[in-house]
């Protein structure tokens, strides 16, 4: 398979911009799902019904292991083996309920300007999918208390420390994704390489040969089922140099390699290099999975930007404050874009431009330079 015919995207943040509502590292995911040609986004569409019945019988990773937060070493072992691990009960019932309300508020803002879910905004810009992070004008959701509350938790911090082999990892942001009812397409498999690939003219070393550079933790707000769009993860691909297949060439077993069933409030730890992709939400329910994102102690990239207000930073534990030091803003400093959500990039950029204008030329120039 040639690189052109695959979803591989080694350029990462250096990918040339494209006219698509998505994040820079996903500009390559512009192809639609050929299997859905002629379908409608109706729950009762015959094609949708047929796919739902197929998923009822076959969807989900067979023998998916879900561990408890106390099984720290086992969680790290599974993560390093597969490139992901599911940990139950990461959020207690009260925190889960608060987080649900926070995601609903954010989603209400997006639906107010895109009621038909047509704009797109998940990886690849597919309709009926949104990204909390890329839809926020600040690029993250770290201005929201409920997101900040997930940065440093007793159910996740020990596992992160075990995965990275050190407590000195850093926070890079928080966002997450939403699959709305009517998201009938599969999203192309991809890696979230939020970096520029290593420059090695000899071709001996790539990011694939390194220890894990980045971990995202997704927190599903509802039980993940065969029909509501559970993420598919391809085990062991975090170190693979093989081209990532596009939807046309992707084998059937990969489309069914999904993280279900899994309970609401779980933490899904993911190596960002592992191949993954969204799946159809053929249910009546919204499937939201906010996330928090981290870099290894030794890893940095242009993805690290200041997006956490000083007031939120002060609320964190000493460990939380330390790992958040690269994303915090100074006392009294405005976080440009915070609090504005829109699925269209041009609207987000216009909002930020107006905020920067209000700062004055010198302050605006300094702010942008320090991002």
| pLDDT, tens digit, 9 for 90 and up, residues 13-55 | 777 777 777 777 777 777 678 889 899 999 999 999 999 999 9
Could you write out the three-class secondary structure of 36-98? HCCCCCCCCCHHHHHHHHHHHHHCCCCCCCEECCCCHHHHHHHHHHHCEEEECCCCCHHHHHH
DSSP H helical segments within the chain, as ranges?
46-58, 72-82, 93-113, 132-135, 145-148, 157-164, 252-255, 310-314, 318-323, 345-359, 361-370
Residues 231 and 255: beta-carbon distance below 8 Å: no
pLDDT at residue 4 in the model: 52
Say if residue 138's pLDDT is above 50: yes
pLDDT at residue 310 in the model: 97
Distance between CA atoms of 364 and 156, rounded to whole angstroms? 37
Say if residue 3's pLDDT is above 50: no
Distance between CA atoms of 321 and 319, rounded to whole angstroms? 5
Average pLDDT for 296-307: 93
Q: How many CB atoms lie within 10 A of CB 106?
A: 24
Say if residue 284's pLDDT is above 90: yes
pLDDT at residue 2 in the model: 40
Enter the pTM of the model.
0.94
Distance between CA atoms of 335 and 203, rounded to whole angstroms? 40
Burial code of 287-319, b = ≥16 C-beta within 10 A, e = fewer? bbbbbbbbbbeebeeebbebbbbeebbeebeee
pLDDT digits (tens, 9 = 90+) for 320-367: 999 999 999 999 999 999 999 999 989 999 999 999 999 888 888 888
Task: Assign domain 36-370 one CATH number from 3.40.1010.10, 1.10.357.10, 3.20.20.70, 2.60.120.620.
Answer: 2.60.120.620
Which residues, including other chains, have CB under 8 Å from residue 312's CB and lie 6 or more apart?
Answer: 142, 143, 145, 148
Distance between CA atoms of 61 and 144, rounded to whole angstroms? 33
The residue among 194, 266, 283, 189 whose CA lies nearest residue 233 is 189
pLDDT digits (tens, 9 = 90+) for 226-267: 999 999 999 999 999 999 999 999 999 999 999 999 999 999
Give the three-state DSSP class for 7.
Answer: coil
The C-alpha angle with vertex 286 and arms to 55 and 148, in degrees rounded to 5, equals 120
Residues 340 and 143: beta-carbon distance below 8 Å: no
Average pLDDT for 213-234: 98
Q: What is the mean pLDDT of the chain?
A: 92
Distance between CA atoms of 200 and 320, rounded to whole angstroms? 35
């Amino acid at each position: 398979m040639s690189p052109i015919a695959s979803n591989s995207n080694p350029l990462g943040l250096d990918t040339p911009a494209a006219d698509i509502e998505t994040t820079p590292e996903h500009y390559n995911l512009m192809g639609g799902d050929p299997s859905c040609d002629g379908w409608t986004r109706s729950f009762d569409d015959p094609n949708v019904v047929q796919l739902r019945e197929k998923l009822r019988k076959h969807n989900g990773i067979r023998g998916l292991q879900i561990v408890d937060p106390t099984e720290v070493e086992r969680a790290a072992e599974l993560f390093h083996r597969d490139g992901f691990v599911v940990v139950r009960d990461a959020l207690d019932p009260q925190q889960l309920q608060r987080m649900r309300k926070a995601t609903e508020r954010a989603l209400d803002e997006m639906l107010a300007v895109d009621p038909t879910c047509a704009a797109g905004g998940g990886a690849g810009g597919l309709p009926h999918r949104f990204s909390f992070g890329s839809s926020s004008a600040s690029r993250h959701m770290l201005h929201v208390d409920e997101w900040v509350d997930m940065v440093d938790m007793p159910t996740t911090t020990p596992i992160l420390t075990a995965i990275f082999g050190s407590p000195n990892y850093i926070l890079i942001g928080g966002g997450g994704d939403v699959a709305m009812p009517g998201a009938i397409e599969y999203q192309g498999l991809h890696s979230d390489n939020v970096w520029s690939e290593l420059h090695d003219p000899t071709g001996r070393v790539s990011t694939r040969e390194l220890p894990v550079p980045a971990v995202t933790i997704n927190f599903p707000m509802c039980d993940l089922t065969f029909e509501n769009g559970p993420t598919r993860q391809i085990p062991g691909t975090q170190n693979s140099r093989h081209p990532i297949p596009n939807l046309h060439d992707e084998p059937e077993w990969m489309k069914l390699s999904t993280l279900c069933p899994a309970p609401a409030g779980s933490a899904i730890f993911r190596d960002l290099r592992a191949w993954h992709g969204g799946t159809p939400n053929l249910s009546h329910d919204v499937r939201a999975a906010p996330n928090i994102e981290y870099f290894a102690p030794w890893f940095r990239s242009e993805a690290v930007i200041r997006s956490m207000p000083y007031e939120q930073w002060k609320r964190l534990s000493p460990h939380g404050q330390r790992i958040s030091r690269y994303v915090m803003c100074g006392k009294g400093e405005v976080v440009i874009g915070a609090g504005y959500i829109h699925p269209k990039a041009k609207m987000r950029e216009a909002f930020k431009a107006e905020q920067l204008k209000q700062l004055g030329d010198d302050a605006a120039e300094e702010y942008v330079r320090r991002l």
